[in-house]
Amino acid sequence: MRAVYPGSFDPVTNGHVDIIERAARVFDEVIVAVAPNRGKEPLFCIQERMEMLSEVCAHLKNVSVDSFEGLLVSYAERRQAGVIVRGLRAVSDFPYEFEMALMNRRLNPSIETVFLMTGAENAYLSSSVVKEVTALGGSIDGLAPDLVVERLRLKLQEEVRESEP
Ligand code: PNS
């Protein structure tokens, strides 16, 4: 069975890696698909997010990285994926995920959404928290892959330089 794990991944955190590794054990093939999220202003462009994901997933032979625009179910159909994987961290994720899963089911009843629980150590982790802590000078070591920690530091320095008169 081929599964799609969609998300913004801006940037990929250890929580995402945890879900990708779990999905790779459950499904024959996993496509990690980077999507623009209309509600969020991204820090990294799609290409940068894909590069980081590809490096981080290099050890997983049944995982590939891609991107898409438009409806997730149309993308899943095009890639012949029967499952959409989403990670759950806490009860607070549920209303948003429930809404998305039911809408996707309405759009295409033949594609199932499967939720995987993240490890407890990642329950409080999100891309937003990782970005905010880095921007404010805190350490995110151990919360995101090393290459992401470094890329985030460089990106935020770049942003500060660009905002200087
Ligand atoms: O990591 P995120 O930001 O929670 O991921 C959200 C994402 C990208 C999976 C979601 O916004 C999405 O599926 N976007 C594609 C557009 C779409 O199909 N929207 C209808 C789903 S209800």
pTM of the predicted model as reported, rounded to 2 decimal places: 0.95
Residue 60's closest CA among 84, 33, 82, 31? 31
CA of residue 107 to ligand 1 center, whole Å: 13
For residue range 112-139, list pLDDT tens digits in order: 999 999 999 999 999 999 999 999 989 9
Q: Tell me: pLDDT of 56 over 80.
A: yes
Cα 87 from Cα 55, distance rounded (Å)? 20
What CA dihedral angle connects 51, 8, 130 and 2, to 10 degrees? -70
> Going from the N-terminus, what domains does the chain have, and what CATH number goes with each?
2-163 (3.40.50.620)
CA of residue 63 to ligand 1 center, whole Å: 20
Tell me which of 53, 72, 75 to substitute to probe ligand 1's pocket, judged by most ligand atoms within 8 Å of the beta carbon.
Answer: 72
Cα 126 from Cα 114, distance rounded (Å)? 20
The DSSP letter of residue 61 is T
What b/e sequence results for 4-14 when a residue is b if at least 16 CB atoms lie within 10 Å of its CB, and e otherwise?
A: bbbbbbbbbbb
Q: What is the mean pLDDT of the chain?
A: 94
| Residue of 40, 78, 128, 153 marked active site | 40
Tell me which of 4, 8, 43, 108 to substitute to probe ligand 1's pocket, judged by most ligand atoms within 8 Å of the beta carbon.
Answer: 8
Q: Tell me: pLDDT of 165 over 90.
A: no
Residue 119's closest CA among 101, 95, 143, 138? 143
| Residue of 49, 89, 131, 151 marked active site | 89
